[in-house]
Chains A and B, each alone.
Chain A
Amino acid sequence: MAHIQLPEGLHGIRGAMAFRPETAKPLNDLVEVLLRGPNSLTPGERELIATYVSSENDCYYCQTIHGAIAAASLNDNEELVKNVKYDFQTAEISAKLKALLVIAGQVQQGGKHVTAEAVARAREVGATDTEIHDTVLIAAAFCMYNRYVDGLATTQPRDEAMYRERGRRVAREGYVSVSKEYLPPIAAR
């Protein structure tokens, strides 16, 4: 049971967002820019960073939905998503993404854990300042989303098919667009 009375039938962050549409708007806008906006990192790569951080934070809902969105963005390669969560150093991803995942893992531990060496390594394999910036912010943002979802004890059904289906929709239509189906209009409150 959730710690507060959230709208029924909406799982994970959706229930929390429907409870408080005023904060849902910037939360959805932020994730849309970070994971789907114009970027030299593909949406699939960025979703993998979000999935990895959510997995390190042990947030079931976030790692499963973002894992599903990542897979949908990567030719339905669910195996790759699992491998990145399990041990990204041996996964079939670019050296650049591996270096960025190292930075993301450091951010997950705490901002001061990010080392100049990890940043230099990412730059060596071709990461730009904007890619490093966005990696730090995606990792930081998921330290927020994960805490929000688990800190309210939201319902998080173990239903892989549901996440797969929603993952495909978000990969196709985006966060802000899909959010319209579960967010009440703010003016109605």
Chain B
Amino acid sequence: MPHISLPEGLPGISSGFAFRPETAKPMRELAHVLLHGPNTLSPGERELIATYVSSQNDCYFCQSSHGAAAAAHLAQNPAIVELVKHDFLDAPISDKLKALLAIAGQVQQGGKHVTTQAVDAARKQEATDLEIHDTVLIAAAFCMYNRYVDGLATWQPQDRAMYASMGEHLATYGYLTPSLKS
């Protein structure tokens, strides 16, 4: 049961958003710019970063919904999502994305955990300053979203079909409007 009285029937962050539309708006806009806005990193790559951090933070709803969004973007090989969560160094992704995921993992531990070596390694794989910035902010933002979703003890159904449908919606339309009908 959620810690506070959240609207019923809405899973995960959707219930927090419906409870408090004033804070939902900037939180939706932030996710939209970070994951769906114009970027040299593809939406699939950015969703993988979000999924990986959510998995490290052990947030079921966030890793499932963003994992589904990543899979929808990477339709040729949706199995990549599980491989990245399990051991991204072994996953069939670019060396640049591996280097960025290493930075994201450090941010998840804490801002001061990010090392110059990890940033240099990313730059060696031709990551730009903007890509490094966005990786740090995506990882930091999911340390917020994950804590919000679990900190309120939101309802997080184990329902693959629901996450798959959310993922399709997020991959197509982004984050400005609800991905589920209430």
> What residues make up the interface of A, taking CB atoms closer than 8 Å to B?
3-5, 16, 19-20, 22-23, 25-27, 29-30, 33-34, 37, 57-59, 103, 106-107, 110-112, 114, 116, 119, 129-130, 132-134, 136-137, 139-141, 143-153
Contact = CB atoms under 8 A, between A and B. Distances in A.
Nearest to A138: B23
B161 interface: no
Interface stretch (B44-52, B66-74, B82-90, B145-153): B145-153
B29 interface: yes
B4 A140 contact: no
Interface of B: 3-5, 16, 19-20, 22-23, 25-27, 29-30, 33-34, 37, 57-59, 106-107, 110-112, 114, 116, 119, 129-130, 132-134, 136-137, 139-141, 143-153
Given A26-B27, A29-B29, A143-B147, 9 more contacts: A20-B133, A30-B30, A34-B23, A130-B20, A133-B16, A134-B20, A136-B148, A141-B144, A143-B144
5 contacts: A57-B110, A136-B152, A137-B16, A148-B137, A149-B111
B30 A23 contact: yes
Given A3-B114, A111-B149, A143-B147, A132 B140 contact: no
B151 A111 contact: yes
Nearest to B30: A26
Nearest to B37: A22
Contacts of B148: 111, 136-137, 140
A155 to B, nearest CB: 14
Nearest to A112: B150
Contacts of A140: 143-148, 151
Q: 4 tightest CB-CB pairs across the interface, nearest first?
A: A150-B111, A111-B150, A144-B144, A140-B147
B107 to A, nearest CB: 5
A interface secondary structure, majority: helix
A24 B130 CA distance: 14
B139 A133 contact: no
A4 B136 CA distance: 11
A150 B133 contact: no
A19 B30 CA distance: 15
Contacts of B19: 129, 133
B26 A112 contact: no
B22 A151 contact: no
B57 A111 contact: yes
Given A23-B34, A110-B147, A133-B16, A151 B23 contact: no
B26 A30 contact: yes
A88 to B, nearest CB: 18
Contacts of B116: 3
Contacts of B144: 140-141, 143-144
User: Which interface residue of B59, B106, B143 has the most chain A CB atoms within 10 A?
Assistant: B143
Nearest to A5: B129
A146 B33 contact: no
Contacts of A30: 23, 26-27, 30
Contact of B151 (A59, A139, A150): A139
